[in-house]
Structure 1
Amino acid sequence: MLFACIRRPASTLIFSHFRNMSSASLPPSSIPIFTTVAEYREWRRRAFVENKSVGFVPTMGALHEGHLTLVRRSLQENDLTVLSIFVNPAQFAPHEDLATYPRTLERDLEVLTEQQVADRQPSAVFLPTVKEMYPSGINQDVSQQKGTFVEVKGYGEQMEGKSRPMFFRGVATVVTKLFNAVEPTNAYFGQKDIQQALLLRRMVTDLLLSHPSPDHLHIVPTARDATDNLALSSRNAYLSPEGRKVAPALYASLQAAENCWSAGGSKRECVDAAAGIIQQWVDQIEEQGWAVKLKLDYVDMNDAGDFEVVGDEVVQTEKGGEVVILSGAVYVDQTRLIDNILLGSVDKVTR
């Protein structure tokens, strides 16, 4: 029975068989690890035969509580849960941090084995190589790329797309590949990357995908540090101790904009309020002589349906129950952090 794969003894047996076929350099784990699509699909076929639901959490590793929140949600709602770890070259520009992106596989596997909801634990890890995911090869320079890529036209140029051109092309491409390989019943994404999650829901709709269907692509509220509300992110590991002190400035600025919006302020007034909070932090950094730099990249409001920018004079009552994305990004030294707050009928987006 496939269901036995989530039990410790059976998982160990499957993993031992897998290790005989795979690289001996992989850390030991009681969770089956699949490095090729062919191996994973053999496992997935058994899930289809036994009518088991499969939840999927795609990650780039360096797991933190935000990832684990998604894992536990999947464990709660599915018979089996698969997590992928793949640092995708196609979503890093040539000048970005692909080489230095944190890779903590051994620890990732350890924390995964500790996750349990009722009698369910993670069932498999999909750990493909770059060659497996990009059979035609991959170059970070888009002009040099060859092969098949996915672009969601008109939805990847706003918000994060303005600061990171072609980023969502890389995201859409790799997630299409992962969905084709994993064939999840349900997939789980965090609200922290709200544009990415909504863009992928649009992609699933437009490409008529069934695994997952649009209704089964779930957006889960952002996991935050309990003390200062900093959105949990793998990139937080780059922050110096002083950088960690000022990183919460972004969410504080978004909260100021949210309060302004709720009080009837215009979009422009609310964005200015957010920028004012960042400037207060910058001034405090200078006064205290902290060895850290804080720089605002952007704060803006966008429609959750098409990502179009909300007009400067628009106020809350004009949007009614439509969802508005209040988002922003800052640089803390060289580390770029993003965050967002959803305004309006949030349940239309998160589910």
Structure 2
Amino acid sequence: MSGVRPAAGAPVRPAPMERGGYNERSRLQAGGGAHGLPVIARAFERMPLGDGPLTIADYGCAQGRNSLAPISATIAEIRARLGVDAPVSVVHTDQPDNDFATLFALLRDSEDSYLREPNVFASAVGRSFYEQVLPSESVTFGWCSYAIHWLSGAPVASAGHIWGRLTTGEIRRAFERRSADDWRMFLTHRAAELQPGGCLVVVQPSMPGHEPSTFPMLMGWAQAELDAMAEDGTLRRSEAARMTVLCYERYPADVRAPFADGDFRGLVLVEDFLNDLPDPFWGAYQATGDAETLADKYVGFFQAPFRPSLLAALDPDRDAGFRKAFSDRLETGLRNRILAEPQPLMTPLAVHVSLIQKQI
């Protein structure tokens, strides 16, 4: 691959969501995931259900709040078919360093917890969904929302930009290849885990039409702040070059590509659709004109999922004081830009939903 070095020295995997913060700062992700909820019922209309305990797999659970509604909806479908006492096992999966403590505290304490239902059991697996995480043919139904756009690792050592879709040339093509390979890898392992006839619903951010990227203004501003810190010596050039969030959104055609010749590893793409996803923070600002709240919401959205990736790119000798000062400066810079020029930063954005079934 001409002009692009292998990813040696780059983060080998995405950094986990910010501990204790993602549940409170993932409103946009929750709104996107809601587009997949009606598909759960359509999945169960197609699925055979056995007599034994049924297993629901939640792929990429993070800290769990956005999983409560879809898992509860899935349990309701099972109970409608098999009765209120049907035993259900729910397995949440994420990276080993995910904040599982917050997940289990949420399941214990939340009024919306599905564990308030009888005969439902929760567990977790700390392993990347880019490998097999559960026994073959053990999963009845799988749910994956706002997780599969995170890549398995950095496709290049130094992308030179915070957002993969805003890179160019060979670097951009390296991201495209990694995204395509990761999607096929994810499907391959789910094909092994699903029971014959089992279904998988995948919700992921996408782009309407032929827009080149989501969040071009937000990520452009963040990159400008990083460039300024590299220019004045706050950041080392090598650190700034490594600061890339390992996300890469797919177009609907990218999602459909593995199924172009029919089934893929015994999986069939039953249906898929694309819906626009309005910017929730901008809508509130238009109603109130409160720029401070708008800045709080946008910066909060940026912090929880993306700040850990930037901190992971710092050299090991950077102490806690430097890391905090770096975070504070970046977020203050973003806040000041938002206050000076309020505008919608979560556009263009759409959500893609796919229903996939394993052949019997």
TM range (shorter): 0.3 to 0.5
Provide the TM-score with structure 2 as the length reference: 0.35
Provide the TM-score with structure 1 as the length reference: 0.36
